[in-house]
Chain A
Amino acid sequence: MLSFERWKVVLCVLAILFGAVFTLPNLLPDNVLAAMPGFLPHQRLNLGLDLQGGSYLLLEVDTASLKAEKLNNLIEDARTTLQGKQIVFSGLALSGDGVSVRITDPSQVQPAYAALQTLALPVPGAVVRDVAVNTGPDQTIHLTIPDQAMVKASADAVTQDIEIVRKRIDSLGTREPQITQQGTNRIVVEAPGESDPERLKAVIGQTAKLTFQMVDESVSPQDAASGQAPPDDQVLPFAEGGGPPTAVKRRAVVSGEMLTNAQQGNDPRSNKPNIDFRFNGIGAKRFGDATMENVNKRFAIVIDGKILSAPVINEPILGGSGQIVGSFTVESAANLALMLRSGALPAKLNAIEQRTVGAELGADSVRAGELAGVIAIALIGAFMILAYGFTFGGIAVLGLIANMSMVIAAMTVGGATLTLPGIAGLILTIAMAVDANVLIFERIRDEERAGRRPAMAIDTGFNRATESILDANVTTFLSAVILFIFAGGGGPVKGFAWTLSIGVVTSVFSALFITRMLVTWWFSVTRAKQLPI
């Protein structure tokens, strides 16, 4: 006779309960959900950025500028090292993708080589050192940064960048931003509910490297304009409309890491927005000493290689606090203060992909998706009942509803994200689940037509449909997995793959277990002599 094992009944009941309990919070209005007792789950389905609105930014470490900066530092280090050993040299400059220097005295090439070797530090986890030193013809020495060391450097920069980006975005007050690393040199920022990505870009688009450097008053403006300056000076441009390029000492008096605080304030004299800052102990001492020695000279406030302003030191500044003046708006001053507080990014980040969906469009999509889902279920339900009658059609519809609730529950519990294409995937899953039922019913009809008694026809029908259902669904599952693997970056597509793969599993379960249980029950109650299909 037709039987359905006890453990399968238990499994079905548990699955249906699981579906119902975890789907419920998604259907209830907010106030009802809040009033529900605490032991019931309150978690809701994660909506993708395309459904709840929000911004997605993909940032890439600017490797070229990271390398340029490293090479510039290398020039400075080489200069200090050679000067320390009292080795005479010339032509210390960038050449090709490295740095080269010519040692004037041939007998000093070897000691110079040995001295420069000390600059090369081992790179953890790599065979190379972070600088490769080679001698060339004509008493030259070349310093290059090996590719492997560069990869490591940009990976390190990403790790540190993530922390700083998080600090900066957190202080914007964005709701639950997600900041994750992608690959070796990329960062993904996802900010649900943020409909203005420009706000995000304004605080992460700048490295915000702050230095205070003395202006070299001995260099004439003409020389500075043509880029002529002594080797320990550098010529820097002003930020927009600030003045002509100016020569400043390379050695920074103080730098951004010595700040303990920075806030947007107002200049009491002009009443324009400025930034109030405070140095830590070391910074305050250095700044005090430098201003004491250089009264009546100018110092330059430099951010990311641009001079914001170069005020004249009227008197020593000993308290360790001061103001940065420049042409700020309230917003740009607040953003810069925020960036200074959170520290400079070790490497500049460029936005290479930016996607935003407004909250209203997201809400429209949710409404359209819900309506489309209801229409799909209603149409399929009506169709199945018309095609297979109340008994079998009705069982298929019940299985369908159980299946839907299991998909939604599994996605809720698993923290999967529902996206707009995901809703399409969900609806298609319904159709595939119906297909499993159709296969079963058609097999049962075949068997009955072939002369079997109803009980036998049901049993054989289910058994013979099982193989086809499994085979057919494995292929769909495989294509969902492929999609999941290849869905780079694009969150919506990944959401679709999630939905489809969970849906395939639950459809097979609901067809082979829940439908079968319902059919068995129906038969054991009615003992029909003839099947109503």
Chain B
Amino acid sequence: MQFWPLIRLLPRETHFKFVSLAPYAAIVSAILVLGCFVSFATQGLNLGVDFKGGTALEVMTPGPAPLPALRGDLARMGVNDAQIQQFGDPRSAMIRFERVADVEPAQAVTAVKARLSRDFQGIKFTSEDAVGATISGELFKGGLEALVAAIALMLAYIWFRFQLQFGMGAVIALAHDIVLTMGMLSVFHIEFSLPSIAALLTVIGYSMNEKVISFDRLRENLRKYKKMPLRDVINLSENERLSRTMITGATALLALSGMLFLGGPTIFPVIIAMVFGIFVGTYSSIYVALPVILIWGVNRNDAEVVKPIGARP
């Protein structure tokens, strides 16, 4: 036996009983989803200025960023709710505040910057985001609509390409993925802002990709083995596509690893959500989408219409 290409090391046939673990997985999923909702209720999402309105200023000082002095200066000018933290480089600090009196953030930021430049020699403003309440409301609504629209479109597509049961399985799994990913961001207090919506949609895209590949194999095997019980067909299909699942998951993670470690603090929340989503999406294809189909059952009559191309003997 040759050891390289490494793909040959993977057993040609595996016989994991994926379905028999499903009840335990369901319990784990239920607990995790519940935990996420507890986290949403108790500490909520760490909304960024995009969705909450307010100002985020990234500053760079010549020496290590004097966080307490910055905090004091902001408090003296009436910015009381400011959160100040070190941001990547020790000379960098991220300053966030919601509202200053009743002034629009885009106006308030002018005054705050003028004051900080006066009080801290050599301070530089590396980036700033000031978002008014109207805009943040619109962005939040737009983000939610995007997620809902994406899920609805996926349901429609899967229903059209497969069967309604598959579509429902996929959608329940997608909802599971989104809740867990957002839950992870909530638990670890990772900022949730406009690019996070992009990350969630990417997670949806990746997760759907997994589901489609899985459904595709399942449909093919349902046509091939008409008499085999559904749970056995599911086990067989998942075993057949196991090597692909592992290789694709690994490449996706490898691809993102550079960005995760080198992308800097601005992009980190997006990448971590994607990385987490890859795990969740892979898991939910096997343990959320397929069990839903298993419980609901499939319509196996349409299998007679198409004779599989090159069916194995």
Q: Which residues of A contact B (CB under 8 A)?
A: 50, 57-58, 60, 195, 197-198, 201, 350-358, 360-361, 364-365, 368-369, 371-376, 379-380, 383-384, 386-389, 392-393, 420-421, 423-425, 427-428, 430-432, 434-435, 438-439, 441-442, 445-447, 449-450, 452, 460, 463-464, 467-468, 471-476, 478-480, 482-483, 485-490, 492-493, 496-497, 500, 532-533
B212 within 8 Å of A (CB atoms): yes
List, in ascending order, chain A residues with CB within 8 A of B73's CB: none
Q: Which of B18-26, B29-37, B140-148, B288-296 contacts A (4 or more CB under 8 A)?
A: B140-148
A-B contact pairs, 20 of them (CB 8 A): A351-B106, A351-B130, A352-B134, A354-B131, A372-B259, A376-B255, A376-B256, A379-B257, A380-B255, A387-B5, A389-B5, A421-B198, A424-B263, A445-B7, A450-B312, A475-B209, A478-B157, A483-B197, A486-B146, A490-B139
Q: Are A358 and B258 in contact, CB atoms less than 8 angstroms apart?
A: no
Q: Which of A361, A384, A435, A441 contacts B209 (CB 8 A)?
A: A435
- Chain B: minimal CB distance from A138 (Å): 38
B138 within 8 Å of A (CB atoms): yes
The 7 A-B pairs at the shortest CB distance, nearest first, are namely: A375-B258, A486-B146, A372-B258, A351-B106, A389-B5, A475-B208, A352-B132
Q: Are A424 and B135 in contact, CB atoms less than 8 angstroms apart?
A: no
Q: Known contacts A353-B131, A493-B198; is A480 also within 8 Å of B251 by CB?
A: no
Interface string of B287-313 (1 = CB under 8 A from A): 000000000000000000000011010
B191 within 8 Å of A (CB atoms): no
Interface size on B, residues (CB 8 A): 79
Q: Known contacts A58-B135, A376-B256; is A482 also within 8 Å of B149 by CB?
A: yes
- Chain B: minimal CB distance from A128 (Å): 26
B124 within 8 Å of A (CB atoms): yes
B244 within 8 Å of A (CB atoms): yes
Q: Are B198 and A497 in contact, CB atoms less than 8 angstroms apart?
A: yes
Q: Which of B195, B241, B250, B251 contacts A496 (CB 8 A)?
A: B195
Q: How far is the CA of A336 from the CA of B7 in the complex (A)?
A: 71
List, in ascending order, chain A residues with CB within 8 A of B309's CB: 460, 463-464
Q: How far is the CA of A380 from the CA of B7 in the complex (A)?
A: 15
- Nearest to A356 among chain B residues (CB) is B128
Q: Are A424 and B247 in contact, CB atoms less than 8 angstroms apart?
A: no
Q: Which of B8, B149, B202, B213 contacts A428 (CB 8 A)?
A: B202
The SS class assigned to the B binding surface is: helix
- Chain A: minimal CB distance from B215 (Å): 8
Q: How far is the CA of A447 from the CA of B149 in the complex (A)?
A: 39
Interface string of B236-264 (1 = CB under 8 A from A): 00001101100110111011111100111
The SS class assigned to the A binding surface is: helix
Q: Are B205 and A532 in contact, CB atoms less than 8 angstroms apart?
A: no
B177 within 8 Å of A (CB atoms): no
Q: How far is the CA of A468 from the CA of B213 in the complex (A)?
A: 6
Q: Are B212 and A434 in contact, CB atoms less than 8 angstroms apart?
A: no
Q: Are A361 and B126 in contact, CB atoms less than 8 angstroms apart?
A: yes
Interface string of B188-215 (1 = CB under 8 A from A): 0000001101100110111011001100
Q: Which residues of B contact A (CB under 8 A)?
A: 4-8, 12, 50, 58, 104-107, 109-110, 113, 124-132, 134-135, 138-139, 142-143, 145-146, 149-150, 153-154, 157, 161, 194-195, 197-198, 201-202, 204-206, 208-209, 212-213, 216-217, 240-241, 243-244, 247-248, 250-252, 254-259, 262-264, 266-267, 270-271, 274, 309-310, 312
Q: Are B5 and A388 in contact, CB atoms less than 8 angstroms apart?
A: yes
- Nearest to A396 among chain B residues (CB) is B251
Q: Are B216 and A468 in contact, CB atoms less than 8 angstroms apart?
A: yes
Q: Which of A355, A428, A479, A490 contacts B255 (CB 8 A)?
A: A428
Q: Are B202 and A423 in contact, CB atoms less than 8 angstroms apart?
A: no
List, in ascending order, chain A residues with CB within 8 A of B267's CB: 365, 420-421, 424
Q: Which of B135, B208, B250, B274 contacts A352 (CB 8 A)?
A: B135
Q: Known contacts A380-B251, A393-B5, A438-B248; is A479 also within 8 Å of B129 by CB?
A: no
List, in ascending order, chain B residues with CB within 8 A of A356's CB: 125, 127-129
Q: Are A438 and B247 in contact, CB atoms less than 8 angstroms apart?
A: yes
Q: How far is the CA of A423 from the CA of B195 in the complex (A)?
A: 12
Q: How far is the CA of A357 from the CA of B266 in the complex (A)?
A: 11
Q: Which of A442, A479, A488 contacts B208 (CB 8 A)?
A: A479
List, in ascending order, chain B residues with CB within 8 A of A489's CB: 135, 139
Q: How far is the CA of A489 from the CA of B310 in the complex (A)?
A: 50
List, in ascending order, chain B residues with CB within 8 A of A467's CB: 216
List, in ascending order, chain A residues with CB within 8 A of B209's CB: 432, 435, 472-473, 475-476
